[in-house]
Amino acid sequence: MKCEFCGRDEALPFVCNYCGGAYCPDHRLPEAHLCKGDLSARRTVVPPPQTTYTWSTGPSLQGVPAPGKAFSGVEVRDILVAWLGLGFAFFISLNGGVFGLLSAFPAQDAGPDLSEKLAIALIAIGSGFVLHELSHKFTARRYGYWAEFRMWTFGLFLAIATSLIGFIFAAPGATYISGSNISRSENGKISLAGPLTNLGVAFAFFLVFLASPPGFVSALGWAGTYFNIFLAVFNLLPLGPLDGSKVFAWNKAGWAAVFVPLAIVLYTFVSLTRG
């Protein structure tokens, strides 16, 4: 019998209790095959994503072996679409929004042309958004939870629309984690993984920026540094579903020790390179 989600042949398929479909081990869970059945009987129903870097919890999967594949086809598709959508939004901003929040590179004699700006936008977004989300995913998997990214189509359109006025409302989707027994400590560490990843990537881009003469590589170094630090600071705000609210609830002193220096670094970097 074939898996109704991916078409793989299975001698003993798993039958979903909610939609009645037959699935392979990789897609046996309702979340993995985008179940269309009635999930109201479950302990927790995952709501639609409200922001980019959040997740919701469902039944615990602790003790259940992870599927053989690290990524499902749906997740790969969603990550690529979200990356391209955000990259295009960043590209629009780099070419001049009304308020110019992201529209200028550091003053250089040989600035990038449009095609180079598009490449810069995609690389900066790929390093920032994609690695941020994957750090959430693999940290959660380390604790034994199922975790996958799902895009939010309306959020992608919103990102492009807001980029026209010089500000990107980045809400392309969310990393969802299934597990009802996530502790406050685990939640905080999973949340902190994203911003810390951005910090490491920003440092690598900063070294490129310092070592490069004016031109494409230098502009890429600046954009990658700026976007990754900005993403880390924004997500560490202790508001609503952002990463910062989970880190703050877990360890207030630890949150302050990361957030305050990062905010100062962001302000200093922008002031010195764009002033």
Burial 132-150 (b: 16+ CB within 10 A, else e): bbbbbbebbbebbbbbbbb
- Between CA 69 and CA 32 the distance in angstroms is 12
Tell which residue, 239, 141, 235, has the closest CA to residue 197: 235
Task: Please tell me which residue in 31, 75, 116, 133 is annotated as part of the active site.
Answer: 133
- Between CA 199 and CA 110 the distance in angstroms is 28
Tell which residue, 179, 172, 139, has the closest CA to residue 46: 179
Nearest-5° Cα angle at 260, 257 to 262? 100
Tracing tokens 């949150």 back to the chain, one arrives at 255
Tell which residue, 55, 250, 61, 76, has the closest CA to residue 143: 61
- Between CA 275 and CA 106 the distance in angstroms is 8
Are the beta carbons of 173 and 151 closer than 8 angstroms?
Answer: yes
Q: Is 133 a catalytic residue?
A: yes
Q: Pseudo-torsion of CA 44, 139, 36, 86, nearest 10°?
A: 120
Enumerate the active-site residues. Answer: 133
